[in-house]
Structure 1
Amino acid sequence: MGTVMRRLNGWLFALLVLLGALAIGYLSARHAHVADWTYGSRRSMSPETRSALAKLDGPVQIVSYANPQGDLRQTVATFLQRYQQVKPDLQLRFVDPQQDPAAMRNLGITVDGELILHYRDREQRLDVLNERSLTNALERLVRGSDRMLAFVTGDGERRADGDANADLGSFVTQLEQSGMRAVPLNFSQTAAVPEHTDLVVLASPQAPLSAGATKALVDYVANGGNLLWLADPGNQDPSLQPLADALGIHVLPGELIDASSAALGLKDPRMIPLGDYPPSAITRGFTLATLFPEVAPLAEVRKTDWQLVPFLRSSAQATTQSLDGKPVAALKGPLDFGFALSRLSPSPAKSEQRAAVIGNGDFLSNSYLGNGGNRALGERIVDWLLGDDELINMPPRGAPDRVLTVAQGELNLLSISFIVVLPVLLLVIGGLIAWRRRRA
């Protein structure tokens, strides 16, 4: 009887295991669950991509010009499947480029598997299949047409295509990937800002502007043009005074210093860190820390028809100091060094005109762009100036946990643990095991 019961229990156990396996298989075939435990869900679709998809409020059609031979079509379909899960009205269609070579030449298809994204009356091309490039294409669809950014040159300004530490090449490259086009603007070659310019950037001129250049910038602002002015300490150039008067702001003498920055490990008090920001359309919901080296304080000197909102402000511990030995009156913090200006546009082509004046250009330079949220803040500023408000709150790019910062004391502790403690622990355990075996 006992033998029969043991056999029956064994058969029942085997039956339960089989039923459990069948149940798991049934559920897994009908319900998908994926868990990503990496920081910020780095291995899943990024929040930025999800946000871009959410801002496309209509169907998106993607046409892939891929040969039916091989696995390329399956690769494309598998890659886009998770996008379709987030946005069900994203449609994928394949076209065999060999069926009509003449049509492919007219379309400019040169890469097997090249994608063309269609949204409303807009389209974007994609010849590299990864999430970064696809997200950039989605942002360009949201933005619409490419925006033209004119960077003033010829007076020692930071170069938009430069690789030097003080230049803006890395930042501008990122902007171009999201639907902007940077062009030089040299007033020795033109008397006015070209038409169809969406934004003029004046980035820290080192030499006085000519009277013609200043007049062209003042006329551009008077006619409704958008402006980003990056002014470094010592930029109290009289040639720029008419532009400052048109905006109703003044670059104060001296530069900011903040002794409290030493608590964050910054040895130079001219490095101004920010962790919180005055409320504004640019900084709403922005929580990343930013770093501004060598900052010029700004002030509103008179009321104009501009609505002026400060969005960058130092701590209460900040003050000003002289620059290049020139005595200045010490001002106490908090001090503003970033203003967002808006008003009804004088141009009938748009409803609102926008400008931003910042007492620092280094935070967007090649040297400091990677510090904290500098790049993300710069993108927000440009999006706001262009009127692309729906893109301002896009989650920042990049993974925050790619760099492991270890203090010297922690590094010493880790070294001692692996070099001394762990080997000694293994020897002790081995000795205990050998001692017990001898006793047995």
Structure 2
Amino acid sequence: QQNFTSLARQKREVHFTVGHGERSDTSFKDTPEGTGTTELASALRRANVTMKNLGISQGLANEVPEGAPAVLVVGPRTPFLPEENGALERYIRAGGRVVIMVDPQDDHGLSPLLESFHLSLLKGTLASETNHTRRTFTPADRGLVFTKRYSSHPTVTLASRHQNELATVFVHGGAVSKTELEGDGGGAIQFPIRSGHGFWLDLDGNFERGPEEPLTNANMMAVVTVPVPGNAADGSKKEGRLVVIADGDFVTDQVIRNPGNSFVLNDILKWMLGEEEIVSVAASEEDIPIEHTREEDKVWFYATTVGVPLIPLAFGIAVALRRRRKPKKRKTTKPSNPEEVKS
């Protein structure tokens, strides 16, 4: 509770990249309904996080602004320039923090940046015949997958703790993998979210598994830590941090109300902004089994399409859970002034 309070009180800042058709770019005119980030922006404001744009006009083709705490790349649909890739790489290697949420099938132009840290996005859309939510009741729904498989990384602390009660949803996302490049320049790589069994990468867009589309255990999120010479201001080891989520819609309005997504985002921001809480997490590096039923599928359909109250980022999560379990009745009192109107 103390960590949540300190983060809420302390002024924080994140830079959102713009100019590449990002889901978070309000100036992009071709954003379909539900794929924007209006609710994310509102939650960040409540968490006392300042949002700034970062594009070519703000210097991204040269360098990330000095002192920028974190950079978010949310669902780009047009390619980054090589110079922008270079600026983000230098920023990370100097101790910066970057979160990239991207659809592998989009022309994002971020492959050079990912490859410099020994990561790559695999071809195809991750699909499942069983572990998916239902929105259109067509085969395309098989690309609306969910998973409960988390590791013990700080970016999935809350999701792992509540993995029996929630799941994380990916909207026509994909998979990220470690490349076979030699050398240690990539940093330490971990995969906090995985798909488990019964998933495949759909290559032709029909969401029917074909002979060239084998079942796979896919990595849906990667984190990289890069050692940096010297120490941080608090005396701790300095390091650059990169989070890659193979889904450009991971925090858009259509799914951010799902606790499995908002919990992960909450922990990512805490880890990015240096507010991680040292806790013992029950989840291990071994996969956590999924028990999927038709009734559970209905629950996740309604959770992602109708929505549950959005969990305020960085604070109030435990309180929100308690209120959901034990709703309190509101007492009504007669106004002392007859002309008063209660809203």
Fold shared by both chains (TM-score > 0.5): yes
Q: 2:43 aligns with which of 174, 178, 184?
A: 174
Q: 1:390 aligns with which of 230, 252, 277?
A: 277
Superposed, 1:37-436 pairs within 5 Å as: 51-52=1-2, 55=3, 138-141=6-9, 144=10, 146-159=11-24, 164-190=33-59, 191-235=62-106, 237=108, 239-261=109-131, 267=137, 268-284=141-157, 285-287=160-162, 288-302=166-180, 304-305=184-185, 306-323=187-204, 329-346=212-229, 348-349=231-232, 351-390=238-277, 395-396=317-318, 398-399=320-321
Q: CA offset at residue 281 of structure 1?
A: 2.2
Q: CA offset at residue 401 of structure 1?
A: 7.8
Structure 1 Cα separation of the partners of residues 230 and 84 of structure 2? 21
TM-score (norm 1): 0.54
Closer, same or farther: CA 176–272 of 1 in aligned 2, 3 Å: same
Structure 1 Cα separation of the partners of residues 155 and 63 of structure 2? 29
Show CA shifts across 1:149-175 (max 9, x none).
Answer: 111101101126689521222123212
Structure 1 Cα separation of the partners of residues 318 and 127 of structure 2? 28
> Does the CA contact (< 8 Å) of 1:309 and 1:341 recur in 2?
yes
- Secondary structure of the equivalent of 1:197? coil
Q: CA offset at residue 375 of structure 1?
A: 1.1
Q: CA offset at residue 333 of structure 1?
A: 2.0
Backbone CA RMSD of aligned residues: 3.0
Structure having the higher Rg:
1
- Secondary structure of the equivalent of 2:277? helix
Give the aligned residue type for 1:297: A
- Secondary structure of the equivalent of 1:340? strand
Give the total of aligned pairs: 265
Show CA shifts across 1:310-363 (max 9, x none).
Answer: 1111121001111558x9952422110101111322465462221100001312
- Secondary structure of the equivalent of 1:368? coil
Instruction: Identify the range of structure 1 (170-179 vs 334-343) with the bigger mean alpha-carbon deviation.
Output: 170-179
- Secondary structure of the equivalent of 1:390? coil
Q: Which has the higher helix share?
A: 1
Give the aligned residue type for 1:149: V
Closer, same or farther: CA 147–138 of 1 in aligned 2, 3 Å: closer
> Does the CA contact (< 8 Å) of 2:13 and 2:52 recur in 1?
yes
- Secondary structure of the equivalent of 2:271? helix
Closer, same or farther: CA 370–183 of 1 in aligned 2, 3 Å: same
Show CA shifts across 1:76-101 (max 9, x none).
Answer: xxxxxxxxxxxxxxxxxxxxxxxxxx
Q: CA offset at residue 290 of structure 1?
A: 1.9
TM-score (norm 2): 0.68
Q: CA offset at residue 241 of structure 1?
A: 2.5
Q: CA offset at residue 269 of structure 1?
A: 0.8
**Which fold has the larger relative contact order, with Cα–Cα distance below 8 Å and residues 6 or more apart in sequence?**
2
